[in-house]
Chains A and B, each alone.
Chain A
């Protein structure tokens, strides 16, 4: 494959991966969540997609990998047998990988906030500072906060643990 053809293919592949949503959050792309780490196109046309899990024990890994595999294989003239989706062990996922679009959609559609390190978390509804109710929410990547101003119950995406 020529360098230009390879670059065009990489863009198409990236778009295909970006069309895959988080299974728990319809409308939020896994690329906006920062799951896509690498797209490698070998000299013989083999394609390897490297993904980073938010948490290694995440139960959606198999489902996401299957969807990415199907989406990439559907890109023009790619052979499904030559597409491989791999979950990488490094680098570790952190909330820094979530894009602005990802953050905005989470806040608007799901009242979901993101915690950066130890910084206070603003309420997606009223903007005031929230307090932590529990370090753990309905998944290992989320905590539960309460907004003392508007009493909204908020889920907060976070790194680590």
Chain B
């Protein structure tokens, strides 16, 4: 058995001093639930993201892209797997229960996976804008996250997501230097994905946000969002694309790009499972789970064979 704390005040003082909580510590229940919900949503998002990615394996333009999409699919599913294990260790829900809840539309996943990727341009926009948004927020969690098992897993996930970012940049350069039709397709994708990607950071953090108070996250949503805007506006403009934000302004004295007013209604809809593609996405994930049951059964029944194959 790990450490115990006399009171919530003691526990918070421990966190404020940079303490790391481990799975066998007697953490306050509210902290346990907050960390669990955060990791569960991350795990769900990796799984839903992996399924989105998978759709593009047969449709990738060329072998090099196909290999990168294949690998990215495996990465996302692998990340989901690791995160479900870390979440299950917290003894709030079993892995099975988390998956059941996801497939029944009872638990959350990131807003961006409530939209449909229709073209290769969308896929490039996702691997560029959305992956960067996810990476930015993961880095802010990883820096100081008070829950040790999650922080250690994040370190590996971030290293791999950094690799995805480089592949995304390669894809963007290719499309930016492409034909006029390809450039138009990508402009449409920027128009469709700019706002969902920006909203991935969520609304401004509330002053009493427990995720910040308990050092689960180390940076406010609006600060991360501003960093992302600052990075991508000049980059896309330099490639000759436009940003679908009429309120976007440039502040010369600070050399900063500042987003215009944000309509948060679309984000709310996705969190209520009423986004443009929520129902189809969830049904597809559930059907995939059923379709692949035989693989899991085979793996369970043949542990010796799988060990031999591994050597």
- Interface residues of chain A, those whose CB is within 8 Å of chain B, are 23-26, 57-60, 62-63, 109-112, 115, 117-118, 132-140, 142-144, 146, 150-153, 155, 158-161
Q: Mark B161-173, 1 if CB is under 8 A from A, else 0.
A: 0110011000000
Q: Which residues of A contact B81 (CB under 8 A)?
A: 133-134, 137-138, 144
- Is B85 a contact of A144 with CB atoms below 8 Å? yes
- Interface residues of chain B, those whose CB is within 8 Å of chain A, are 22-24, 64, 67-68, 70-72, 74-79, 81-82, 85-86, 89, 149, 152-153, 155-156, 159-160, 162-163, 166-167, 299, 306-307, 309-311
Q: Which residues of B contact A134 (CB under 8 A)?
A: 81, 299
Give 27 pairs: A residue, B residue, CB < 8 Å, sorted on A: A24-B159, A24-B160, A59-B67, A60-B163, A63-B167, A111-B155, A115-B310, A118-B307, A118-B310, A134-B81, A135-B306, A135-B309, A136-B74, A136-B78, A138-B74, A138-B75, A138-B77, A138-B81, A139-B74, A139-B78, A142-B78, A151-B23, A151-B149, A152-B149, A155-B156, A158-B310, A161-B310
Q: How far, in Å, is B88 (CB) from chain A's closest CB?
A: 9
- Is B310 a contact of A139 with CB atoms below 8 Å? no
User: In chain B, what residue has the closest Cβ to A25?
Assistant: B159
User: In chain B, what residue has the closest Cβ to A21?
Assistant: B159
Q: Which residues of A contact B149 (CB under 8 A)?
A: 151-153
Q: A111-B152, A136-B78 are in contact. Are A151 and B310 (CB under 8 A)?
A: no
Q: Which residues of B contact A58 (CB under 8 A)?
A: 71
- Is B71 a contact of A110 with CB atoms below 8 Å? no
Q: Which residues of B contact A140 (CB under 8 A)?
A: 74
Q: Which residues of B contact A57 (CB under 8 A)?
A: 67, 70-71
Q: Which residues of B contact A110 (CB under 8 A)?
A: 155-156, 159
Q: Which residues of B contact A152 (CB under 8 A)?
A: 149, 152
**Binding site secondary structure of chain A:** loop
Q: A135-B306, A138-B78, A151-B24 are in contact. Are A117 and B311 (CB under 8 A)?
A: yes
A26 to B139, CA, bound (A): 15
- Is B85 a contact of A146 with CB atoms below 8 Å? yes
A140 to B72, CA, bound (A): 11
Q: A112-B156, A115-B310, A161-B310 are in contact. Are A24 and B163 (CB under 8 A)?
A: yes
Q: Which residues of A contact B310 (CB under 8 A)?
A: 115, 118, 135, 143, 158-161
- Is A153 a contact of B24 with CB atoms below 8 Å? no
User: In chain B, what residue has the closest Cβ to A60?
Assistant: B163
A161 to B299, CA, bound (A): 14
A143 to B153, CA, bound (A): 14
A58 to B163, CA, bound (A): 13
A135 to B71, CA, bound (A): 16
A155 to B78, CA, bound (A): 10
Q: A139-B74, A153-B82 are in contact. Are A109 and B67 (CB under 8 A)?
A: no
Q: A153-B82, A153-B86, A158-B310 are in contact. Are A139 and B159 (CB under 8 A)?
A: no
User: In chain B, what residue has the closest Cβ to A135?
Assistant: B306
A151 to B76, CA, bound (A): 22
- Is A160 a contact of B311 with CB atoms below 8 Å? yes
* Residue in B72, B155, B156 whose Cβ sees the most chain A Cβ within 10 Å: B156
Q: How far, in Å, is A94 (CB) from chain B's closest CB?
A: 9
Q: Which residues of B contact A133 (CB under 8 A)?
A: 81, 85
Q: How far, in Å, is A105 (CB) from chain B's closest CB?
A: 12
A159 to B22, CA, bound (A): 31
Q: Which residues of B contact A111 (CB under 8 A)?
A: 152, 155-156
Q: Which of B77, B162, B306 contacts A26 (CB 8 A)?
A: B162
Q: Which residues of B contact A138 (CB under 8 A)?
A: 74-79, 81-82, 156, 160
